[in-house]
A and B are shown apart, each in its own frame.
Chain A
Amino acid sequence: MYRSEGTYIKAEMKIAPIIFENPSLLLLMERFGIEDAVQDKTVATICSEESIECALFLSIINLYNGFIPEQSEKLNKGCIETIIRFLKNSHNYYLEEKIPDIQNLIRSLFVANDIIEIRLIEKFFTEYSNEVKDHLSYEDNIAFPYFYSLLGIPGQRPSELNGFSAQEYKDHHTDIESKLTELKTLLIKYIPLKNSPAIKRKLLTSLFELEYDLTIHSRIEELVLIPLIKKLENIIE
């Protein structure tokens, strides 16, 4: 479920083979709110049926497949709400699904291997997930309302936003990713676990999935959302 390579996707392509190639795109479909069976529909048809800007859909789906979007000049401010909805759906996935899943797996690991390292891993992950939660709530409560206000949708005034920048996003995400790598290193290389290969594998798989998704998440912000916001700010000024 975690890949970062795939075909470069165009509007006239059919969507089913694209998903067969990279199943991580199921998450993307979910976050765009595409729930129906895709049948033989093309990307363009799905986008028009679901009222999603096709250029935006292509930018994001190609990020999942490992391509840097070239289409940002084709995006307009109408896309911002869709991106924010997409990002908020990702937040729910981290908070309601992925983080609790990982916490449960760490607990199962502790039941099978009652060693001090696993207890410390649980602590490590709790601290880590608190950092993630802080970052997400910063986005939900400060960044997104600011973007809405730029669009003329009621929210906080721009003056209430201090130091919001692409750089800040980037720094924060780098830190978040390096801690996940440490966690995986500890589990793969160092901690002696003997009774629970299946739990260990599930836990590591979940960590790889979370890492992959957080990487895409920050790329969407840096490469798609932030350039659009800057464009909008320039127009307003």
Chain B
Amino acid sequence: MNSIRKNIVIIEPSDIVNEGLLNMIRSFPSVGNVLRHDTPEDLISGANKRKTDAVLINPFFIKRDIRHFSKLKRESGIGLWIGILYSFYDRETLATLDGVIQISDSQEIISSTVEKLLNNTANNSLLPSENLTERETEVLQQLVAGLSNKEIADKLNISIHTVISHRKNIVQKTGIRSQSGLVIYAISNHIITLDATTL
């Protein structure tokens, strides 16, 4: 049974909420170790090299810089992010999460939400990934900023040939070829943010 138990990290600034949640989710059948981190950055820093399966996070840490958070999320390689909600958050912030629990939810509801999400990820992880690699994401960022192949190659210190090959992969994985289509893709996937006033 132990092998399918998931390691969870809680990132929540309030001690009361954190302690309550910690005690509650430790009793859930799919939950293994539960750790507390002070910030999302702790997930990728060397001192915390444990395998983490899911993160329960206060969206406050996301909202302050969504782009930064999305990058961190990709780098961490963690497949499941659940929001801990006790105040209002905009849709863009919540869209970065796979699910949410409300602080007003009963233990039953929190248990069934978390269990369902934990077990879903297990199935999904068997499917082939269409996610862009870190390098492809970087190329896409430069591409939607309007840089040419040569400029991207210089900036990322790779050959033009490699840039072209990344671009092919991007088109193949996303199904989007045009510049304006890729901009929309990049926004929807939080790879870039665009100021509404610049439109």
How would you classify the secondary structure of chain B's contact residues: helix, strand, loop or mixed? helix
Q: Which residue of B lies closest to A182 (CB)?
A: B181
A-chain residues with CB within 8 Å of residue B174 when the two chains form the complex:
185, 190
B199 to chain A, nearest CB (A): 6
Q: Can you spell out 29 A-B residue pairs with CB atoms less than 8 angstroms apart?
A: A115-B91, A116-B187, A116-B194, A116-B199, A117-B184, A117-B187, A117-B188, A119-B199, A123-B180, A123-B199, A127-B180, A179-B181, A181-B175, A182-B176, A182-B177, A182-B178, A183-B181, A185-B174, A185-B175, A186-B181, A186-B184, A186-B185, A186-B188, A189-B175, A190-B185, A190-B188, A192-B95, A192-B188, A194-B91
Using a Cβ–Cβ cut-off of 8 Å, how many residues does chain A contribute to the interface with B? Answer: 21
A8: interface (CB < 8 Å): no
| In the assembled complex, B41 has its CB within 8 A of some CB on chain A | no
Say whether chain A's binding surface is mostly helix, strand, loop, or mixed: helix
Binary contact readout B175-199 vs A (1 if CB under 8 angstroms, 0 otherwise): 1111011011101110000101001
Q: Check A178 for interface membership: any CB of B closer than 8 A.
A: yes
How far in angstroms is the closest Cβ of chain A from B195?
A: 9
Smallest beta-carbon distance A235→chain B, Å:
42
CA distance A183 to B175 in the complex (A): 10
Q: Which residues of A contact B183 (CB under 8 A)?
A: 120
Report the bound CA distance from A178 to B187 in whole Å. 21
Complexed CA–CA distance, A117 and B183 (Å)? 9
A121 (CB) vs chain B CBs: closest residue: B184
Return the 4 tightest CB-CB contacts between A and B, nearest first: A190-B188, A185-B175, A182-B181, A192-B95
Q: Is A191 an interface residue (CB 8 A)?
A: yes
Residues of B within 8 A of A116 (CB): 187, 194, 196, 199
A117 to B91, CA, bound (A): 13
Give residues 127-158 of A contacting B (CB, 8 Å).
127
User: Would you call A124 an interface residue if the criterion is a C-beta within 8 Å of the partner chain's C-beta atoms?
Assistant: yes
CA distance A100 to B127 in the complex (A): 40
Interface size on B, residues (CB 8 A): 19
In the complex, which residue of chain B has the Cβ closest to the Cβ of A119? B199
Cβ-Cβ contact count across A and B, 8 Å cutoff: 55
**In the assembled complex, B92 has its CB within 8 A of some CB on chain A:** yes
Residue of B nearest to A113 (CB): B91
Which residue of B is nearest A194, CB measured? Answer: B91
How far is it, in angstroms, between the C-alpha of A127 and the C-alpha of B184 when the chains are bound? 14
Chain B residues 90 to 112 lying within 8 A of chain A, measured CB to CB, are 91-92, 95
For the complex, give the distance between the alpha carbons of A189 and B178 in Å: 16
Residues of A within 8 A of B176 (CB): 182, 185-186
B180 close to A191 (CB less than 8 A) = no
Complex formed: what's the CA distance from A186 to B196 in Å?
19
Q: How far is the CA of A181 from the CA of B175 in the complex (A)?
A: 9
Please give the distance in Å from A123's CB to the nearest CB on chain B.
7
Could you say which residues of chain A place their CB within 8 Å of the CB of B185? 186, 190
Q: Is the CB of B184 within 8 A of A178?
A: no
Residues of B within 8 A of A178 (CB): 177
Give A124's nearest chain B residue, CB to CB: B180
Question: Is A115's CB under 8 angstroms from B177's CB?
Answer: no
In the bound complex, residues from chain A placing their C-beta under 8 Å from that of B92 are: 115
Q: Which residue of A lies closest to B199 (CB)?
A: A119
A175: shortest Cβ distance to chain B, in Å? 10
Q: A167-203, CB under 8 A of B: which get 1 and which 0?
A: 0000000000011011101100111101000000000
Q: Considering the chains assembled together, what is the distance between the CA atoms of A121 and B180 in angstroms?
A: 9
